[in-house]
Structure 1
């Protein structure tokens, strides 16, 4: 077996340790996002945090798109250490090169919105540092990703915490973005070490990421219809209607951040785990297992919402500062939304196992419906109405997902019965 055919990783620490390190890294990355929003909310006025929240939502959209296009496609790559090393170097380099013009475009908006200009200045740093997480994952080195992200968390919280009270949104964005620079350098050094001998990314390998057959194209479409549409609608509310609405919605959803870790784990680890648990079991068994997982996640969401509802106002203001009062009004709706999202996430998980091509249609139709519900809710009831509109959209997607799961299970049973009848007819 040649060097390019050897299995990746080579750490000798076992699959279990790698899974734990990957889960811990997801948790640290999610905690960083939560901590950044909470510390920024404490340091800024409600109006300034609303402007910061819009910039942060724009970053979240771009991060999701790059993750779908580059990261999710990268982790599906196969090959030996040298081939994977070249793929990882190419993906990280592509992220850096592609983020530079996007950052420059945002920087041009500085005279109109300084916080967007600040985001443009730090965007390549933030996106490239995150891309390294997927590179380490595909190389079988999740512990290195965890080490880099722990450094990122410590620096982000520390740098934001020392900003003066009342710091403007552009200063908060710059402080948050530049705090990722040491983690970027540290990650680059580690990546260069573990991919030594892989060579520099060639123009051909970089162009391959722009080809029509690149899987990232499909993944970014799913991201666009599944998540980006509602996020763009929220940004639109801030730009056209009321920036404070974005701050309130961002503050409320940040408090449910730990549940996002569970949802991401269900999406990432769910399909192989579900197949492993059910083996070659019937589609009905797979659907029931996914349904139980969805019910458990919905129960956790309900308990978390209840705990937040009982949180004293003084403690809430310690978390979100001036934004707490507006965010607290949204907690019942946001808790209901996360319970519906839990059921919908596991419904889509079941579909990925049963009929992977069925997820895109559900995402497309019901994500657009969620945007419509958000806008109608805002028109009827302001920010609280918008939050309940998101509940309606998430509930509709959950119902549609499980209706499609039931249909696929019935089809599989019908096909099984027909095959059995055909075998009996052939035997007679």
Structure 2
């Protein structure tokens, strides 16, 4: 669905090449910046001071590796393809975690430096002061890579380089620098300046308060990646130390010399990792097994081929070139250079699959393989050194990588097939009626869900339930069963291809009847639960559905995730009455047994759930946006090309539309009042379904109000564009449950209006008004609403409408529309 892409459809291949190019340039700048610092320090201080600096720089190298694995690597793997808002939240958590870790590591470095003193201590103290800036600057680079904005990372690193050159130049010109700490401070201070620039370059902002939640939510990745990092670094550095102990300094000098000579390829390798991980991660659910394999082959060809060419270059160049670089060490390196080149190429055979597996979010697989490969490299490398010195060590390392490399490729193939197939479990125990439901909504081949999702609802006729089912299907949930009551006389058999288990008919306003139905259904749970079968995720929409879902999960899906989707709070749960307090107490206890809380507005969390007196599970705010899959592709293309494609002629008369469910009697009177006060200047169009108690009043009001019309229900799938193209403004106020639900909700019509550029009217000081005010769009009305509405209508001109419409058009379409990527991200959160 190319029309869903919010970027201009100009040369995606060229854009991909551009990102690869800027990745490489950025890595070169970053590497040169760090190398330049080492050169300047080496030329400015004595040997002992340089040794102290080397210790501090080694500490930095370890700390930045730990920081990436704790903070930004989970973001690269899991959020590179996320929607804008979800990515900004993730980036804020990663950046905040990097900042907190920087302060913690910096404090440790500072304390150790003060205790050590001597030549090492001052360098560690200086490093401790600048570590927060260094780690946040590095985190910004990873954020830009995850966004596909490698050019922004290059700009940030370039500014760091310029600031560093300026600061170091001032130090060297101003006075004689004969110790390392001032240069370390200049280096880190420049990084802090670049980190500040990063905040200006991005919508995201570091959120230290989210660090604990970030580490908790991604602890499965963080633990494994830190262990993997420690295993790899420990095995290689440990092998070098042991080889030094059991052989001679000459052997280790030759090994280090070959590493220095071929180490330039580390720049290419690091750039490839920074490019490949986010690019493949954001496409992970769209790629076939063949594409994953070709990606891994491509990585090996680029990295392994470049390593071979670089090494062979030194084999054919005159010895004078190598000697000028390595001095007396060159003779020993030249004798083993051919083996070193082979070893590096063999080492890179598994690098392609390793990068692909990380992009798939299969870190447990890479950890297990590295847990075998790293110790094997240690043992064979040391053994080879004992037998044949440096040559034997290189042969041992190469042999270890050669032994494990086939398993990297086998696991890549296996995991790629699992990803392409959705990882579906065997269906031998699934009832035949639910085994192979007919898919009516086109479902993408990409799949994030492993295992059945059971969606428990209280009204299967609710259009919002149907939208959520379609979103789950678009997000990759192929094994989906809906369980719920109905309001219709006839059972609903399926929703968007998902089979429905009918629990019977209930009533909307009859709370006593609903309570009896709920208790009866809970007691007879075994009858319908056996039909549903096992589940990996149980999603409950509403408090009453949560009561049923909790019982089902406890008896029939004990290992499944229980998720509470609370998009409304019943008025019976609000207030200080004994019954309201009892209901909230039950809800709080059930909520404590859930793994996730899904709501459509942050106000529900701050104004209601946070008052229940118990810790909340992780919260996902999934706004009630329009699903792109519900809209015609041609219509979407028009909206992408022109946000004012459905603009109505200029008034007067100015038309206000009140659409969807109509339940607010006060809104009806306000709209009728403005029609009567401004005849011929303001008209009102009503479309949708009024609640039963408002039907007679609505018809009487419309009959008595010139300029007000009621056009009845509409088909959301086919009529949405037409009804919003027929009005200038959308009525977004809901005063039905003023002070509670109405103040907390972000109504669906807010997003529908925004999709088609229609200007919303909202209430100031509530969730909808805050949403509009934050984005600088819409019209905000205040109490007394009649005066506020009439004052606005009296000043309504073509110029004011054009300005309001232009403000709406400046917002990206993704502010109102959820694409398949957002659906995939939502499903990923449901499955944990």
TM-score (norm 1): 0.70
Query: Per-residue displacement from partner, 1:43-76 (whole Å, max 9, x unpaired)?
Result: 9999999997776555433322222112213444
Q: 1:54 touches 1:243 (CA, 8 Å); kept in 2?
A: no
Q: Does 1:334 align with 2:340?
A: yes
- Give SS of 1:26's match: helix
Distance in structure 2 (CA, Å) of the matches to 1:121 and 1:246 = 31
Query: Per-residue displacement from partner, 1:267-325 (whole Å, max 9, x unpaired)?
Result: 34335656899995652553255235424532322111111233444433443456555
**How big is the shift at 1:330?**
4.9
Q: 1:89 to 1:401 in 2, by over 3 A?
A: closer
**How big is the shift at 1:201?**
4.3
Q: Does 1:306 align with 2:312?
A: yes
Answer with 1 or 2: which has the greater Rg. 2
Which of 283, 287, 303 aligns to 2:289? It is 283
Question: Match for residue 229 of structure 1?
Answer: 235
- Give SS of 1:211's match: helix
Which of 126, 134, 147 aligns to 1:129? It is 134
Q: 1:248 to 1:60 in 2, by over 3 A?
A: farther
Question: Match for residue 96 of structure 2?
Answer: 90
Q: Does 1:348 align with 2:349?
A: no
Q: Does 1:99 align with 2:105?
A: yes
Distance in structure 2 (CA, Å) of the matches to 1:258 and 1:128 = 26
Which of 376, 388, 401 aligns to 2:383? It is 376
Question: Match for residue 154 of structure 2?
Answer: 146
> Tell me, which stretches of 5 or more residues in structure 1 are unaligned?
1-6, 9-13, 164-169, 420-425
Q: 1:229 touches 1:368 (CA, 8 Å); kept in 2?
A: yes
Which of 391, 396, 405 aligns to 1:398? It is 405
Q: 1:92 touches 1:132 (CA, 8 Å); kept in 2?
A: no
Q: 2:168 touches 2:183 (CA, 8 Å); kept in 1?
A: yes
- Give SS of 2:269's match: helix
Distance in structure 1 (CA, Å) of the matches to 2:62 and 2:90 = 27
Distance in structure 2 (CA, Å) of the matches to 1:67 and 1:328 = 36
Q: Does 1:208 align with 2:213?
A: yes
Q: 2:56 touches 2:120 (CA, 8 Å); kept in 1?
A: yes
Query: Per-residue displacement from partner, 1:141-165 (whole Å, max 9, x unpaired)?
Result: 64453234235556479969x99xx
The alignment's C-alpha RMSD in Å is 5.0
Larger RCO of the pair (alpha carbons < 8 Å, separation 6+):
1
Question: Match for residue 263 of structure 1?
Answer: 269
**How big is the shift at 1:369?**
0.9
Question: Structure 2 matches for 1:140-219, cutoff 5 A?
Answer: 140=147, 142-150=150-158, 152-153=160-161, 155=164, 174=181, 177-194=184-201, 201-202=207-208, 204-211=209-216, 213-214=218-219, 215-219=221-225
Question: Match for residue 683 of structure 2?
Answer: none
> Tell me, which stretches of 5 or more residues in structure 2 are unaligned?
1-5, 8-13, 173-177, 427-435, 437-832
**How big is the shift at 1:31?**
3.8
Q: 2:141 touches 2:156 (CA, 8 Å); kept in 1?
A: no
Q: 1:269 to 1:181 in 2, by over 3 A?
A: closer
Question: Match for residue 365 of structure 1?
Answer: 372
Distance in structure 1 (CA, Å) of the matches to 2:250 and 2:200 = 46
**How big is the shift at 1:223?**
2.0
Q: 1:377 touches 1:386 (CA, 8 Å); kept in 2?
A: yes
Q: 1:340 touches 1:395 (CA, 8 Å); kept in 2?
A: yes
Question: Structure 2 matches for 1:246-257, cutoff 5 A?
Answer: 248-257=254-263
Distance in structure 1 (CA, Å) of the matches to 2:390 and 2:49 = 18
Question: Match for residue 118 of structure 1?
Answer: 123
Distance in structure 1 (CA, Å) of the matches to 2:352 and 2:273 = 8
Question: Match for residue 62 of structure 2?
Answer: 61
Q: 1:378 touches 1:386 (CA, 8 Å); kept in 2?
A: yes
Query: Per-residue displacement from partner, 1:109-158 (whole Å, max 9, x unpaired)?
Result: 846x8457635642553574243133254265644532342355564799
Structure showing the higher helix proportion among its residues: 1
- Give SS of 2:216's match: coil
Distance in structure 2 (CA, Å) of the matches to 1:307 and 1:297 = 15
Distance in structure 2 (CA, Å) of the matches to 1:330 and 1:345 = 23
Structure showing the higher strand proportion among its residues: 2
Distance in structure 2 (CA, Å) of the matches to 1:390 and 1:248 = 15
Q: 1:127 to 1:246 in 2, by over 3 A?
A: farther
Query: Per-residue displacement from partner, 1:76-99 (whole Å, max 9, x unpaired)?
Result: 455538746743651342132122
Distance in structure 1 (CA, Å) of the matches to 2:112 and 2:251 = 22
Q: Does 1:28 align with 2:33?
A: no
